[in-house]
Amino acid sequence: MQIKTTRIEHDVAHSTQWHKHESGQLFWFDKGQMIIETEVSQWIITPGTVGWFPANQYHRARSTGTVSGKCIYLEQSSGIHLPRLSGVYGRDIFILALLERLFLSRSVDYINSLLKVLTYELHQLCELPLKLKLPEDRRARNVANELLKNPRCALDQTQLAHQWGISVRNLSRLFHQETGLTFSRWRQQAKILSSLQWIFAGLPVNEVAYLSGYSNVSSYIEIFRERFGKTPGQFKELDSTYH
């Protein structure tokens, strides 16, 4: 399998237009985070994780600040069975070593051998809960985009529905039907995922909670632990553990 590699370095917030690649992509970052959005979902790739996105998938990418990482473009090959669907996985020292070797290697035989091992390892992992499904209905998506843009938004569900020209009942129905979550649960998950940008920026947890729309720090930590099985501080430590 032939591969292409590129470094991702941005000192400020950065975004791309909608596009697709004929190759699959593996992303991993040492600093900062990248949000990959498709037409129906978005994923957050943070330090300590690796993101896989198959070929020919329309998407756009954005970072919220400084990022430093790498990307490998993989041509389709019948001999390598990478996951069929997009996903973000935890990376340990071994997976990171495989990725770095792939990034530097040019021998096709060696690349194929490394990819077979990496593929096996990825198939043993559970996806991390770094995915947020997005509603497809235009009005519901407008509400979702508003909440993603401003996690501290003080408007309640009724006010948001009226602002975007949809009834509260329809907004509730669309979110549940198209994301699998109730509106309030989706909003909660969006806040938690948005908070990761400030966690990895090193802000104190009380400030992270405030910026994420939580007036109570304990509530924020409890909901974070419910989703990730770790406190914000423990989640951030995974980054330094595998460097």
pLDDT of residue 11: 92
pLDDT of residue 126: 86
pLDDT of residue 242: 47
Q: What are phi and psi of 157, to 5 degrees?
A: -60, -40
Residue 235, Cβ neighbours under 10 Å: how many?
Answer: 20
Domain 135-241 has CATH 1.10.10.60: yes
Written as one letter, the residue type at 30 is D
**HEC-encoded secondary structure of the chain:** CCEEEEEEEECCCEECCCECCCCEEEEEEEECCEEEECCCEEEEECCCEEEEECCCCCEEEEECCCEEEEEEEECCCCCCCCCCCCEEEECCHHHHHHHHHHHHCCCHHHHHHHHHHHHHHHHHCCCCCCEEECCCCHHHHHHHHHHHHCCCCCCCHHHHHHHCCCCHHHHHHHHHHHHCCCHHHHHHHHHHHHHHHHHCCCCCHHHHHHHCCCCCHHHHHHHHHHHHCCCHHHHHHHHHHCC
**pLDDT of the chain, 243 residues: tens digit per residue:** 678 999 999 999 999 999 999 999 999 999 999 999 999 999 999 999 999 999 999 999 999 889 999 999 998 765 788 888 999 999 999 999 999 999 998 898 999 999 999 999 999 988 999 999 999 999 999 999 999 999 999 999 999 999 999 999 999 999 999 999 999 999 999 999 999 999 988 999 999 999 999 999 999 999 999 999 999 999 888 655 544
pLDDT of residue 78: 56
pLDDT of residue 238: 65
How does pLDDT run across 76-110, given as a tens digit for each residue? Answer: 765 788 888 999 999 999 999 999 999 998 898 99
First-last CA distance in the chain: 27
Listed by start position, the domains of the chain span: 3-124, 135-241
Domain 3-124 has CATH 2.60.40.3080: no
Q: Are 180 and 159 in contact (CB under 8 A)?
A: no
Written as one letter, the residue type at 19 is H
pLDDT of residue 76: 73
Closest CA to 205 of 184, 229, 223: 223
